[in-house]
Structure 1
Amino acid sequence: MKNKVFALAAAAVLTSSVAFAQTATTAPAAAPAAGADAMLSGPGITMGTKANGPLKFVNVQKTDLTASQLDGMDIYNAKNEEIGEIEDVVIGDGKSVIGLVASVGGFLGIDKSYVVLDPASVAINNDNGTWKAYVDTTKEALEAAPKLDYDKLDD
């Protein structure tokens, strides 16, 4: 399940608030899909079975992030203490990244829990070649936050 979400997120994260500048170009021979049956369309991924517009490409810059770079990124607080790790990306209605799933607590994967952070509350910085995420909270506050239950997402 996580791998499928990350594959989808890799495309969408380029349009999210955690990505930086990109340059879009349109494929020369592409034409808009006639009668697209999209349930939801807009900036970002279209939810449906047909594309809703011409094929476009994006030039990824060195300053851009991919979902695979976010996966496993350590989260630090204002005291530079490691308090969690980014585990997943949530894409709302196929439009943009609306959450970053953080793992908190636990030891060697036991009793680990997941919380979803608003991307606007997360700062990401390249610290001498290592990407790090920063939030203004404590480990205890993350552990007490509402939990995400992955099993309920599959229902």
Structure 2
Amino acid sequence: MSKNLIFSALALTFVSFPALAQNATPPAAGMAPSSNTGMKMADTATVKLKFVTVKPADVMSSKLVGTTVYNNKNETVGEVEDLVIENGKALTGVVVSVGGFLGLGESYVVLDPSTLAISNKNGNSAVHADTDKDTLKSAPKFEYSKKKS
């Protein structure tokens, strides 16, 4: 009998309470909701398609992420972890991991891209910053809002 009572109480609990869902924010004017990425895509009626020519001196993000960051003394001070792109249009930050060993104890800082220099020697990219490890370790920390996948 007690099993039936517990089962009935659980059944009533699920029936009594409506499913709770997160309220979706309505898209801004000219914007249409996208899939589960958390990004909003521009309405196709408001954006005209443009093509871009990639020049040999251009740097691809796939080559930049994971690149070692060196200082002016050619010491390793971090590694490029991610790029910050504001509103899908402009690169506004470079997320750099600092400190730690084998991924443990590292922290992240976001550097202004205009303060970095990218070199490419023999197909190997490197990022250079006028800084040292202590400056980066004491810089304002950046934390991902959700775990990076």
Provide TM-score, normalisation by structure 2: 0.68
Tell me if 1:131 matches 2:125: yes
Tell me if 1:67 matches 2:94: no
Match of 1:105 among 81, 93, 99: 99
AA in 1 matched with 2:30: D
Instruction: Give 1 or 2 for the bigger CA radius of gyration.
Output: 2
Deviation at 1:130, TM superposition (A): 1.2
Deviation at 1:38, TM superposition (A): 3.6
Q: Whole-Å Cα distance in 2 between the matches of residues 94 and 60 of structure 1? A: 18
Tell me if 1:58 matches 2:52: yes
Match of 1:91 among 53, 70, 85: 85
Larger RCO, structure (CA 8 Å, separation 6 or more): 1
Provide TM-score, normalisation by structure 1: 0.65
Native 8 Å contact 1:37 1:48 kept in 2: no
- Please state whether the residue corresponding to 2:126 is helix, strand or coil: strand
How many corresponding residue pairs? 113
The percentage of aligned residue pairs carrying the same residue is: 47
- CA RMSD between the two structures: 2.3
Deviation at 1:126, TM superposition (A): 0.9
AA in 1 matched with 2:96: A
Instruction: Name stretches of at least 5 consecutive residues in structure 2 with no aligned partner.
Output: 1-28, 33-39
